Structure 1
Amino acid sequence: MSRTLALILAGGEGRRLDPLTRDRAKPAVPFGGRYRIIDFVLSNFANSGFLKMKVLTQYKSESLNTHITRGWRLSSQLGNYVETVPAQMRTGPEWFKGSADAVYQNLNLVTDEEPDFVFVFGADNVYRMDVRQMLQFHREMGADCTVAAIPMPVEDAPQFGVIEVDRSGRMIGFQEKPSVETAKTMPNDKTKILASMGNYIFTTDSLVREIVRDAGRESAHDFGKSIIAEMYQHSRVFVYDFAQNSVPGQGPKERGYWRDVGLIDTYYQSNMDLVDVDPVFNLYNNRWPIYTFQHNQPPAKFVFADREHDRVGTATDSLISEGCVISGGSVHRCVLSPQVRINSYSHIEDSIVFERVNVGRNCRIRRAIIDKGVDVPPGTTIGYDAEADKRRFTVTESGIVVIPKGMMIEPQ
């Protein structure tokens, strides 16, 4: 087998996910109740059998470091590991200037491991991927670099690197976050672009050459606009069609599912995808599980069946994590992290609730994201009066109310 090393880029600030990223790195933001966003890329590598992973961190990384240290222990005896690598300033007293500079400042990881191929993947997306299939494509094409890509609506072009390919799959054009008007659309569908997923495979010599070259010039030191945009013009850069990737236990509905959860509205909708009766992304695929830290909490509990006084603990079309207590309240289309308590006569719908949130009696909450450790006073109403919500909380353009971690909410 080829020697491989996975470098997971987890150092971004995640400003567009504020206030969820005020106290944590974006890859550490909870997702799906009991997971963190980074669990998805790590699980893809683990399930694919690539068990040497270095996670490059920088901003507000304490909770991310703790999560990986406690939840991702592989057998060091067999040479397997998931290790966090904080910014070390090995090349001078500077933070990472971009994703490419993050790898340049940590080239010792590559030279120490001496892999044949290096994976450079982002840590901010939700998807399943058999990475072996992408590596096989890379080797068959004799590529110096392979970029994973997926069709996206042309309206989203300003958020992505936009790729052009020839019939053989070789990259012949690249635009970094172009405007909708200037974005190159797909030849067979003018409503779509071919978007880079930010996942790359490099032959090691090619990676080292390009990273060192970029470090010696004026650039953004970013993989998209600095490395890929230059590299395809003089090297063999190929594009891997993620829609062709398949994993065991995956249904046709999920094939090609990939979400960049860097915006509050996208993050919210991606969580809501999980609670459908037949979800487009199925967490219950035991043949390709999503691994995470295991909480030592008792099972979820639903108490009171006092139908005469409408005091019944219920949850419908929802994900309820361990340690939750639904005490005489009702939950509909919600995602609850561990140790959430919903008290009597409260109704929560279409919402995401993080760890250790307590919702008092007689509350009404809808279309909200409530961060960790919030105590919602009895009688509180959230999500029913947009103007009142904007005076107290963050409200997105689509009307999602976001309550920051540990916020003290005044009683109404």
Structure 2
Amino acid sequence: MINNKVLAIILGGGQGSRLYPLTKDRSKPAVPIAGKYRLVDIPISNCINSDIKRMFVLTQFNSASLNRHIKNTYHFSFFSSAFVDVLAAEQTPHNKTWFQGTADAVRQSMHHFLRHDFDYFLILSGDQLYQMDYEKMIAAHIKAKAKISIATIPVNAKDATEFGILKSDDSNVVTSFIEKPDTSLLPEWTSEVSDEMKGQGRNYLASMGIYVFNRDLLTKLMENPDTNDFGKEIIPQAIDQHKTLSYQYEGYWTDIGNIDSFFEANIGLTADIPQFDLYDRKKRVYTNARMLPTTKLAGTMLEKAVIAEGCIISAAKIEQSVIGIRSRIGDESTVINTYMMGCDRYETLDQIQNNKIEVLMGIGQRCFIKNAIIDKNCRIGDDVRINGGKHLEDTETDTYFVKDGIVVIKKGAVIPKGYVI
């Protein structure tokens, strides 16, 4: 089987500063998404669905929660060679630095990889939302006798300036590469795409940051200590010397690079037919199998809402919002265009009934919440009003952060009764 010859490497990214404050206390792959998953569940699930079951996740910042999630989630048979291992940056007598880039992360961890028997490296990003069959990409790589394959997605002229753009010939062999081209250069960088993509004006092939490398080649490329990044150095330098294939993908794909894209990806799940399909049995997204009760609703009007398990909700209205596990929303509250991540635990009835806690976990009574991300374990008191939008300036306090009009309530924050943002 092809997939017995593949080792997957999931890159956890750097400090995740563009996703701050969601990455203040956790690594980027551990950020909760879609109410019950973590970002890292996406590439791991894609691997499992593609029958690739040997994976390493590379990270160096705030990796404790990521370690815990993976340890609690991905259990394979004792008689299987399958595993998901987290490798954090480690100092050794030969190397005393942090990961300096995507390629450097692979280089520093290479001694762990080479202990295994495989022919192909599958390099993946830990902060993208998509569903892809890697088996087809690897099969195309082998059939073309390529040394490197790059997953590419057609993009329009506006988006092309934000990506590495490739040109390929009639055989999908990459002939040239440019990183974030200026708009004036774009006419020279159009590629052959499907009629559907042409109809949408998506004529440029952007690198998705998903690569297949022959084992021997990547091992050799890693011997050069001066190349630290795949997209900026390894790929551009290798194209002229090694046969590189463009593998076109035309499904839904988004890079969770900042608060705005993260917010859009989550709210997009509330559409009638979302572009990211969590309901496809052949493309399941796996996560920690929590034993939670069903969600309980009382007197709430729901309009395009995604609600995870274990919630207790008596809100007046929830519209175009994702409500995460164990969320509590009080009477007469309204939640619009919001991603509420939920809670890691329940408060006891004794604590609630005897007023031992001034502000309970979740959203209190008579609140109005719009255009917001509420991180895990937040406490929002009664009569709080949070009205995000472009009218708000970017700002940060101890309890919340405003970026591009989106209000992010920080993990574990307490918003007192009657507070207005």
Q: TM-score, normalised by structure 1?
A: 0.89
Q: Which whole-Å CA distance do the structure 1 matches of 2:110 and 2:392 have between them?
A: 51
Aligned to 1:271: 266
Question: Which residue pairs with 2:210 in the alignment?
Answer: 199
Aligned match of 1:309: none
| C-alpha displacement of 1:137 | 0.5
How far is 1:181 from its partner?
3.5
Q: Which amino acid aligns with 1:338?
A: I
Partners of 1:121 and 1:21 in 2: CA distance? 20
For 1:86 and 1:406, locate their aligned partners in 2 and report how far apart those are by CA, in whole Å: 26
Counterpart residue number, 2:385: 381
Q: Distance in 1 between matches of 2:396 and 2:86?
A: 39
- What is the match of residue 316 of structure 1? 303
Cα pair distance change 1:359/1:389, threshold 3 Å = farther
Residue 374 of structure 2 corresponds to residue 370 of structure 1 = yes
Q: Distance in 2 between matches of 1:201 and 1:145?
A: 6
Structure 2 distance, partners of 1:89, 1:180, is: 42
Aligned residue type for 2:207: S
Out of 135, 139, 164, the position equivalent to 1:136 is 139
Q: Kindly indicate whether the alpha-carbon contact (under 8 Å) linking 2:124 and 2:210 is maintained by their aligned counterparts in 1.
A: yes
The answer on 1:361 being equivalent to 2:365 is yes
Residue of structure 2 aligned with 1:12, choices 5, 11, 14 = 14
After TM superposition, list the pairs within 5 Å mapping 1:135-174 onto structure 2.
135-174=138-177
Distance in 1 between the 2:396 and 2:8 partners? 45
What's the CA shift for 1:370? 0.8
Q: Is the 8 A contact 1:314 1:326 kept in 2?
A: no
Specify the code of the residue in structure 1 equivalent to 2:99: F
> Structure 1 283/268 Cα, relative in aligned 2: closer, same or farther at 3 Å?
same
Query: Counterparts of 1:384 and 1:95 in 2: how far apart (Å)?
Result: 37
Structure 1: stretches of 5+ with no match in the other structure: 244-255, 304-311
Q: Which deviations, in whole Å up to 9, do the C-alpha atoms of 1:207-259 show, x marking residues without a partner? A: 1111113x2x3x4x10111110100011111110112xxxxxxxxxxxx1101
Residues in 2 aligned to 1:52 and 1:110: alpha-carbon distance in whole angstroms: 10
How far apart, in 1, do the equivalents of 2:388 and 2:56 lie? 45
Q: For the residues of structure 1 that align with 2:278 and 2:73, how far apart are their CA atoms?
A: 18
Counterpart for residue 325 of structure 2 = 338
CA contact 2:13–2:125 (8 Å) conserved in 1: no
Q: Is contact 2:304-2:321 (8 Å) kept?
A: yes
2: distance between equivalents of 1:169 and 1:187?
A: 10
Distance 1:169-1:370 versus aligned 2 partners, 3 A rule? same
One of 277, 283, 294 as aligned partner of 1:288? 283
Q: How many Å apart are 1:390 and its aligned residue? A: 5.0
Q: How far is the alpha carbon of 1:316 from its aligned partner?
A: 2.7
8 Å CA contact 2:342–2:362 kept in 1: the answer is no
Local SS of the residue matching 2:284 = coil
CA gap of 1:60–1:179, structure 2 versus 1, over 3 A, is farther
Contact 1:326–1:341 (8 Å) recurs in 2: yes
Per-residue CA deviations over 1:305-342 (Å, capped at 9, x if unaligned) read: xxxxxxx2343311111111112432111111111111
1:402: Cα distance to partner?
A: 1.4
For residues 5-404 of structure 1, the aligned pairs below 5 Å read: 5-90=7-92, 91-183=94-186, 185-187=189-191, 192-213=203-224, 215=225, 217=226, 219=227, 221-243=228-250, 256-303=251-298, 312-356=299-343, 357-383=361-387, 386-387=391-392, 390=395, 393-397=400-404, 399-404=405-410
Secondary structure of 1:278's counterpart equals: coil
1:231/1:295 Cα in 2 relative to 1: closer, same or farther (>3 Å)?
same
Q: What SS does structure 1 have at the residue aligned with 2:415? A: coil
Report whether the alignment pairs 1:405 with 2:411: yes
Structure 2, unpaired ranges of 5+: 193-197, 344-360
Moved more, 175-184 or 153-162: 175-184
Percent identity over the alignment is: 34
- 3-state SS, counterpart of residue 223 of structure 2: helix
Contact kept? 1:302, 1:314, Cα under 8 Å = no
SS of residue matched to 1:406: coil
CA distance in 2, matches of 1:145, 1:175: 17
Is 2:315–2:334's contact at 8 Å kept on the other side of the alignment? no
Judge conservation of contact 1:75–1:81 (CA < 8 Å) in 2: no
Do the aligned residues in 1 keep the contact of 2:395 with 2:403 (CA within 8 Å)? no
Alpha-carbon contact 2:319-2:335 (below 8 Å) kept: yes
The 3-state SS of whatever aligns with 1:156 is: helix
Give the conservation status (yes or no) of the 8 Å contact 1:211–1:227: no
Aligned AA (1:165): S
Q: Describe the SS at the equivalent of 2:122.
A: strand
2:396 touches 2:402 (CA, 8 Å); kept in 1?
A: no
Pairwise CA RMSD: 1.9
Distance 1:185 1:66, change over 3 A: same
